Amino acid sequence: MKTRRGFTLMELLIVIVIIITLAGLLLPALWRARIAGIDTDCKNNMKQIGTALMMYRDAFLATNREWHPRWLKDLYPDYLPDKEVLICPRDDTRGADGGRPDGAGDQYPELDEGSSYMYEFNMAAKCSWGWVSYLGLDGHPSPGSAVDIDGDPSQSMWGEVKVYQLKHGDGYHSGPYSPTRFPIVRCFWHTDDVNTSDLRVHNLSYMCNFFRSGSLWEETSE
């Protein structure tokens, strides 16, 4: 009768090395698949926000002037039934930092907390960056009146400046922008190092289609 021989130490080490090698090959692929799934969830969130924005916009067509919600949170509950849609799955602060994670810098200090997404057409906060020069309105007798929507040209809201930029262009683009490539909502939570060539920023266009770009969407888009 033959005796059953167990694994030698060398054979056991070889098996362990093979397992480690296979794990090293599989884990990155699994991680990429997980990240792709999370990014898809964010994309779906943005599409739901887009549908809500379109419904909100349609509700104000009778006013004969372009209008947008003050904050994205204002879409809830009439147009957006679930607040969780405003949280990107990658945002571990759950909206506490607004739409400006570390990678996006501090360009957007006006943005509301409670949402992971940067809302370009914010109608609740005064635009603080140098938009007069950026839009080519230097020397204009009343730059505020050029962007006025709410009837108060003394203070130019973020959304008013963006409406003007969409319709008239800026230093990057002469003439109107295509509403299919002009962002109304952006998500910076998909990279820790946002730069002009990194196509990881998620964008929802004015016409509510999805596209990706670098941090400066005017320079790069997918």
- b or e along 64-74 (b: 16 or more beta carbons within 10 Å of the residue's beta carbon)? eeebbbebbbb
4: in domain: no
28: in domain: yes
For residue 44, is pLDDT > 90?
yes
6: in domain: no
> pTM (2 decimals)?
0.78
2: in domain: no
1: in domain: no
Higher pLDDT, 125 or 131: 131
Higher pLDDT, 193 or 49: 49
218: in domain: no
**DSSP structural state of residue 174:** B
222: in domain: no
Q: What is the pLDDT of residues 50-77, one digit of tens each?
A: 999 999 888 876 665 557 888 898 899 9
Q: What is the pLDDT of residues 32-43, one digit of tens each?
A: 666 666 788 999
114: in domain: yes
CA separation (Å) from 28 to 24, 139, 163, 205? 7, 55, 43, 32
Domain count, the chain: 1
Q: Which domain holds residue 202?
A: 12-213
